[in-house]
Amino acid sequence: MRFRRPGAAPAADDAADPARGIELRGVGHRYGERVVLDGIDLTLTEARVGVVGANGSGKSTLARLLNGLVVPTEGRVLVDGLDTRTQVRAVRRRVGFVFQDPDAQIVHPTVAEDVAYGLENQGVPPGERAARVAEVLARYGLAGHADHPAHLLSGGQKQLLAIAGVLVMRPARVVFDEPTTLLDLINARRVADVIAGLEQQVVVVTHQLDLLDGFDRVLVVDGGRVVEDAAPGPAVAAYRALMALR
């Protein structure tokens, strides 16, 4: 099992301790009376962590806990020692989040403007912002689309734009929630290649099991609990066995 790779430098925060990784301590979550997560205790320090599970198993809620989009109704989630309940802004600067549907993530009309959005929120000066936007667009093959309307991009380009909009903020960790579900094979492979090439710690929630090849650790979530926590081979085998029983 590998340890966490050195990620891009996050915003300075004296209280943060990157060696601690992501910690979930006695985490449970419920929507009203419905329990979606229960009794989760994890420490995620590996470079590549996968999360699999059936629809409704609680894996997307688990992903949303990691950058404070969801605050647990029980227990605590700590990122580099920062509590998502009390230090959510600092946490979100350290943990980027890529959603399944890029159309819901792209908020500005044109490509470059959308990538710049997160940097504007961080107060990055205009000169540096322009350079970082240009660099990330070039890295993901979108340089020629900088001034194009975002809604005219293909599905794969939109997902790359959504990823670029997160990575330009240089988070130390990135959570992907089913990033290839809406894509064809070619674009799914492109996104998988992008994920594989990231320096950051990556947590990927997915139904596409081959995306987990080469990962360090895979969690199988079922009924709101982590029922398997192992290397990809045994974890995926356990997941297949679990689904075969349904």
**Chain residues in the site for another protein (CB under 8 A):** 64, 67-69, 89, 92-93, 96-97, 99, 101, 103-110, 112-123, 126-127, 129-130, 133-134, 146-152, 165-166, 169
| DSSP track, 98-128 | E-S-GGGT--SSBHHHHHHHHHHHHT--HHH
Least distance to another protein from the beta carbon of 110, Å?
A: 6
Write the DSSP symbol of residue 80.
Answer: T
The answer to whether the beta carbons of residues 206 and 35 sit under 8 Å apart is: no
Least distance to another protein from the beta carbon of 85, Å?
A: 14
SS3 of residue 183 by DSSP? coil
Least distance to another protein from the beta carbon of 72, Å?
A: 16
DSSP bridge partners of 228: 220
Total Cβ atoms within 10 A of residue 188: 20
Least distance to another protein from the beta carbon of 177, Å?
A: 10
Q: Name the residue nearer to another protein (CB basis): 125 or 197.
A: 125
Q: Name the residue nearer to another protein (CB basis): 164 or 220.
A: 164
Least distance to another protein from the beta carbon of 77, Å?
A: 15
Q: Name the residue nearer to another protein (CB basis): 79 or 218.
A: 79
Q: Name the residue nearer to another protein (CB basis): 150 or 220.
A: 150
Total Cβ atoms within 10 A of residue 136: 24
* Both structure tokens of 243: 């689904």
Q: Name the residue nearer to another protein (CB basis): 119 or 235.
A: 119
CA 208 to each of CA 38, 140, 213: distance values in angstroms, whole numbers, following the listed order: 25, 22, 10
